[in-house]
Amino acid sequence: MPVRGIRGATTVELNRREAILDATRALLQEMVSANQVATDDLVSAYFTVTGDLNAAFPAEAARQLGWQHVPLLNGCEIPVPGSLKRCIRVLLWWNTDLPAMSIRHIYQGEAVNLRPDLISKPHSDKENTK
């Protein structure tokens, strides 16, 4: 079975523990729902935060959702001047037979501006054959 990646990102208004955890849970829930992901099919998850967020590890939100057997890792984004502030990003690795073009990547809050090309609905199989 192929392994695919699902990208997601969100932002928070304040560097507060509950804000980070609430936003991360909402992001993960939408990523899982939009792609019909079973937790048992997750290979791992990698979370990053911008340098202005240090009140919580976003991976804690995944544990709160019951992801007890999914390997999780937190990291810090490269501090590129002018980049989006207060941003949480996640990359889920997922065992699935879906083609890459069918994966729905989720961007919330101010993060919708990061990848507008991925915000729209996935391409249908008919579009993939053209």
Instruction: Give residue-wise pLDDT tens across range 84-119.
Output: 999 999 999 999 999 999 999 999 999 998 988 877
CA 36 vs. chain centroid, Å, equals 14
**Taking 50 as the threshold, does the pLDDT of residue 124 lie above it?**
no
Tell which wins on pLDDT, 121 or 82.
Answer: 82
Domains of the chain: 3-128 (3.30.1330.40)
Express as a percent the part of the chain with pLDDT over 70.
92
CA dihedral 57, 26, 111, 44 (to 10 degrees): 60
**Taking 50 as the threshold, does the pLDDT of residue 11 lie above it?**
yes
Strand ordering across the sheet containing 3-11: 72-76, 42-49, 87-95, 3-11, 106-107
Tell which wins on pLDDT, 119 or 128.
Answer: 119
